[in-house]
Structure 1
C-alpha cells in the first residue's frame, strides 16, 4: 500500500513562481518575453534553413550532370581580367562588418547612449542595403547574362538555378526585413520611446533583441557562402 506524499514547501514555492512567471505575461526563467520569443523564432528559422541547405547538398551530390564551377559563375571582369568570387567576397565582408556595428549598437544601448546606438543601427541597416543591392546585381547578371533560370541552367545541372534562387532569395528576404526592423527600432530609439520602458535587462533591451536577429542572419550567410560559393 503506497502512501501519498505531499509536495514540500520548497517545491510548492518553485511551482508557484513558475506559474506566476508565465501568467504575468512578462518574464519567465529570468528571460524577458521579447528575448524568449526571438530565440524561439530563430530556432524555427534554423530548422527551415537547415532543411533548405540539406536539400541543396542532397541534390548536388545526387546530380548526374556536372555542377557549375562557382569561380566561373560568380566571377567579375575587372580591367579585362576575370576575378573569381570578387562580388561574393565584398558581400561577405559587408555583412560580417555589419555584425560589428550591431554589437557596438547594443553596447551603447545598455550604456544609455541612445543617439550613438541609433546611429550604429542606421549604419548596420546601410550595410544591409548594400548587401541586398549587390545580391540584386548578382541575380541580374545570372538571369540576363548567363541565362540561369529556376527551371534550367545552360552551364550545367538544371537544379543549380532552383536551389540558388530559393536559398539566397530566402536569405535576402530576411536581410531586407532586418533592415526595416533596425530602422524602425533606431527611429523609435532617437525619439526616446524606450526611455520610460521597464523590464529586466535594461530599457533598451529591444536593441539586443534586434541584434540577435541580425547576428543570426549573418551566421546563416556563412553557411550559404561555404556551400554555394566555396564548394
Structure 2
C-alpha cells in the first residue's frame, strides 16, 4: 500500500537544478517557426495556382534555372559556418575573411535575382499583374529575396563593426543566431527553387 502511495506522489523538483530556457534560442526558434508558416502559405498558394493562368507568358516559356545564383547562396551557408568556427577559435582575421565572402555570395544571389526580374519584366513582359503565374511568382520569390536582404543587412552590420575594431568575440551567441537565420533562408530557397523552377515548369 505504501508503495502505491509513494508512486502517486509527484517528484520534488529542486529549484536550484531548474533553469529557464535560453531566451535567445527561444527567440530565434520562434522567429524561424513563424517565418516557416508564412513561407508555407506562399508555397501552397503557388502550387495551387500552377497551370491556372488564362494567358501567357507561362513558366515553361520564360523561366530559366538560376544555377549560379543558387550555387552562390548555398555556398554561403558553408562560408558562414567556416567564419563562425574561426570566431570560436579566436581567429579574427579568418572570421572577417569568410564573413565578407558570405556577404559577397549573398549579394551575388540578389544580383542574379534582380537580373532575372529585369529579363522577365522588360523582355518577357511578365509583371505581377500579368497573370496568376506572375502574381504568385513575384510574391513567393520576392518574399524570399526580402529575407535575403534582411539577412545581408545584418551580415553587413556585423562585418562593418568588426572591421572598425568592435570586440566581436564577445558576441558569439548573436553570430550563431544570425548564422541560423542565414541557414533558414538557404533551406527556404531549396524549397522555392524546387517548387518554382522544377515542379512549376
Whether TM-score is above 0.5 comes out as yes
Residue of structure 2 aligned with 1:193, choices 167, 175, 179: 167
Partner of 2:24: 34
Q: Displacement of 1:67 after TM fit?
A: 7.8
In structure 2, list runs of 5 or more residues that go unmatched.
none
Residue of structure 2 aligned with 1:220, choices 164, 188, 197: 188
Aligned CA RMSD, in angstroms, stands at 2.3
Q: Displacement of 1:12 after TM fit?
A: 3.3
C-alpha contact 1:149 1:161 (8 A) present in aligned 2: yes
If the length of structure 1 is used for normalisation, what is the TM-score?
0.75
Q: Matches of 2:32 and 2:80 in 1, distance apart?
A: 17
C-alpha contact 2:59 2:133 (8 A) present in aligned 1: no
Partner of 1:155: none
Query: What secondary structure, in the 3-state scheme, does the structure 2 residue paired with 1:60 have?
Result: coil
Describe how 1:8-19 pairs up with structure 2 within 5 A.
8=11, 11-13=12-14, 17-18=17-18
1:170-226 CA deviation, whole Å, 9 max, x = no partner? 11111111111112122334424334x3xxxxx522221111011110110001111
Partner of 1:72: 61
Query: What secondary structure, in the 3-state scheme, does the structure 1 residue paired with 2:26 have?
Result: helix
Query: In the alignment, is residue 125 of structure 1 matched against residue 98 of structure 2?
Result: no
Change (3 A) 1:16 1:58: farther
Following superposition, which runs of at least 4 residues in structure 1 exceed 6 angstroms of deviation? none
Query: In the alignment, is residue 208 of structure 1 matched against residue 198 of structure 2?
Result: no
C-alpha contact 2:53 2:132 (8 A) present in aligned 1: no
* Number of equivalenced pairs: 192
If the length of structure 2 is used for normalisation, what is the TM-score?
0.85
Q: Matches of 1:55 and 1:206 in 2, distance apart?
A: 34
Change (3 A) 1:92 1:64: closer
**Larger RCO (CA within 8 A; separation ≥ 6):** 2
Higher helix fraction (1 or 2): 2
Higher strand fraction (1 or 2): 1
In structure 1, list runs of 5 or more residues that go unmatched.
23-27, 76-84, 153-157, 198-202
